[in-house]
Amino acid sequence: MLNSQNRTLGAIATVSISALIANAGAPTHSWLMSASGDWTLGANWDAGTVPGASSIVELGLIGGYTVSMPLGGDAMSLSISNTNAILEIDNARTFNLFGDLHNDGLIIVNPTASISATHLDFEADAMLTGTGTILLNSIASRAQIRTGTGATFTQGLQHTIEGYGQIAGSMLNNGTVDANVATQTMDLFSADKANNSIMRASNGGRLQISSITINQGTNGTIGADGASSVVDFSGATINNGNVQSTNGGLLTISTIATFDGVDFLQGQMHILNARTLDVLNSITNDGVITVNPGGATSATQLDFENSGSFFGSGEVVLDSIGARARLRTGAGVTMTNSAMHTIRGFGQIEANLINDGVVNANVASQELLLNFNPKTNNAMMLATGGGILDFGSIAVTQSPSGEISADGAGSRIDFNGTSVTGGQINASGGASVEIINASYDGVTVSGPHNVSNALTLDVFNSLVNNGVITINPSSAGSATQLDFENTGSLLGNGEVVLNSFDARARIRTGPGATMTNSANHTIRGWGRIEAALINDGLVRADNPGNEIFLNIDNKVNNATMEAINGAGLDFASITVDQTGGGEILADGAGSGIDLNTATILGGDLMTTNGALVEVVNTTLDDVNFGG
């Protein structure tokens, strides 16, 4: 704001001094009568001649009257001090000003809205002061404000430019610019502008900002106010200040636009199909930014071009599939979703994202895909309302407070080649987590987790499981596994459910690694445990007519391994060390234990209620047998 103020004050001082020099000895022309008339008739002026480029012109005579310019006009400076006076720049004409304009009345550019180019031209740096209004009154160049080469006009605090047409000139706005004619457009284009006050669309009008830069001070605000009022950014760059929509107004991005250090105070902003909003140096968003509203078919994006944050309490809504609604970051750039901010909907987050807020896939049956770049999650990444949060082949690093969660029937988390380190992964209320190849490193989980047929969940540095992890939930025909890649434990009070025979549902350990099934944890079902297992919890074969094979690597059993429900435990060509007080048990008719070239060291081997033990080439060493 300080720079903008300095610029404004400098402009005031410069123009005032130059005006004093230019006006010294200049002819003065004052309107002669309290009646309407023609600027180009000398008899209407006290000097008896028509004002020229060196004239100081005054419309100060009391009364309501209109001064028309059927042939255009010139003046060094103009003062309209009569609040009831109207100056009309007629169709196809130009009013050239070579100095300042003080306006307490009304200036109309093209009062009949006719079809030819009509202009108010500031040919030199100028101050536009007063409490009056300039009304642009026809489309495009038919009602236009321009500036000469190198010139800038500065609109004062109490002055207004309104209507529809074009402001092509270089402008410093300290007053109000208002596109306030319903269904019509005021276009700010050609030369860059500065805004320390208000530029807006109201009453159903449209403010178009086209292919220019607007530098805003701290109090500079560009806004759309009222139903059907639109501010459209088309190739525009907005540096600093505020944008907003209120009372049903709308901001739109219709080509590429750039926001650099901008605050979006409130309301709705739409990044239209096939368009891009580039963000530099963060954005404070307290409104709703929708990427591709209506879900049209072309790539549409919000891009961070340097590292920055979504501040504020607002939302970014992704509103189409895949790349049709996406967030991206430039090379080496990080995007931070701050603590109170939300990203939701369906589409893609390709950005290198640090999430301190909420990411929510909340559109039923649609996916929010996190891909391309790694993510850091310190807060909540969610699937709700039947939405799908899909993680592609990326690394996700979570702090202890980071949580990936699916909540509600039909809601789902998909991991597809994803590596998750730390934090929590939860599913509740009928939701699930689907694993299509993933790795968990030091993760805590709850709820249903499904390792799909032919795929793998790799575990590093233990896993706290307070849910149900099902290996091959469809019992399909390919090898499916949970692998411990280094020594660690299955902690927590949950279950791993093996759900197909043999290698189609198996648990393995990497070379030299050991897996511990902790005291409150259960492994059950049917399939294989190939892992070098230390069992301090429960291993249970409980699928009728099917077996859990314990093979490949030796096991240590310090707790219970059992077969129930007509299922079997099959120990094949391994040693089971039970010297720590373990028990192998078969309970119930049809339940059985098969010892096939196995060695059992210590502990108990028990059968009850009609269960059997079948022994082939097996060694029992100091085993307590009962049944």
Provide the pLDDT confidence category of residue 25 given band limits of 50, 70 and 90: low
pLDDT of residue 342: 99
Contact assessment for residue 96 and residue 122, using Cβ atoms and an 8 Å cutoff: no
User: What is the C-alpha separation between 195 and 4, in angstroms, rounded?
Assistant: 9
Distance CA 585, CA 612 (A): 10
Q: Which residue has the tokens 């209507």?
A: 163
DSSP tag of 302: E
SS3 16: helix
Please report the pLDDT score of residue 19 as a whole number: 46
Give the burial class of 342: count Cβ atoms within 10 A of its Cβ; 0-12 exposed, 13-18 middle, 19 or more buried.
buried
pLDDT tens digits along 485-544: 999 999 999 999 999 999 999 999 999 999 999 999 999 999 999 999 999 999 999 999
CA atoms within 13 A on the CB side of 305: 12
CA 421, CA 355: separation in Å to the nearest integer? 15
Asked if residue 168 has pLDDT above 50, the reply is: yes
Residue-level pLDDT at 627: 80
Mean predicted confidence (pLDDT) in 193-208: 99
Alpha helix stretches (DSSP H) within 469-523: none
User: Can you give the pLDDT at residue 26?
Assistant: 86
Q: Read off the amino acid at residue 27.
A: P
For residue range 379-418, what is the model confidence (pLDDT) as tens digits? 999 999 999 999 999 999 999 999 999 999 999 999 999 9
What tokens appear for 476 in the block?
């399909």
pLDDT digits (tens, 9 = 90+) for 564-590: 999 999 999 999 999 999 999 999 999
Q: What angle do CA 552, 554, 560 make, to 5 degrees?
A: 115
Are the C-beta atoms of 402 and 377 separated by less than 8 Å? yes
Is there a contact between 548 and 574 (Cβ–Cβ < 8 Å)? no
Q: What are the residue ranges spanned by the domains of the chain?
A: 1-170
Question: What is the tens place of the pLDDT at every residue in 341-371?
Answer: 999 999 999 999 999 999 999 999 999 999 9
- Helix (H) or strand (E) holding 571, with range, is strand 568-572
pLDDT in tens, 266-320: 999 999 999 999 999 999 999 999 999 999 999 999 999 999 999 999 999 999 9
pLDDT in tens, 69-124: 999 999 999 999 999 999 999 999 999 999 999 999 999 999 999 999 999 999 99
Give pLDDT, residue 24: 55
Residue 12's pLDDT is 35
User: Considering only CA atoms, which of 561, 611, 612 is closest in space to residue 587?
Assistant: 611
For the cut 80, the answer to whether the pLDDT of residue 4 exceeds it is no
- E strand or H helix that includes residue 315: strand 315-319
CA nearest 395: which of 443, 462, 328?
Answer: 443
Residue 13 has pLDDT above 60, yes or no: no
Which tokens go with 342?
Answer: 């939300």
List CB contacts of 415: < 8 A, sequence separation 6 or more.
Answer: 391, 433, 434, 435, 436, 437, 438
Q: Return d(Cα 195, Cα 211) in angstroms, integer.
A: 16
pLDDT band at 146 (very low <50, low <70, confident <90, very high): very high
Burial class from Cβ neighbours inside 10 Å (0-12, 13-18, 19+) for residue 201 reads buried
d(CA 388, CA 124): 60
**Is residue 393 classed as helix, strand or coil in its secondary structure?**
coil
pLDDT band of residue 21 (cuts 50, 70, 90) is very low
Q: What is the mean pLDDT of the chain?
A: 96
> How far is the C-alpha of 496 from the C-alpha of 600, rounded, in Å?
24
Only one residue has tokens 């007629």, namely: 90
Cα separation, 18 vs 141, in Å, equals: 30
Residue at token pair 């180019």: 117
Q: Please check the confidence at residue 15 and state whether its pLDDT lies above 50.
A: no
pTM of the model: 0.94
Report whether pLDDT(3) > 50. Answer: no
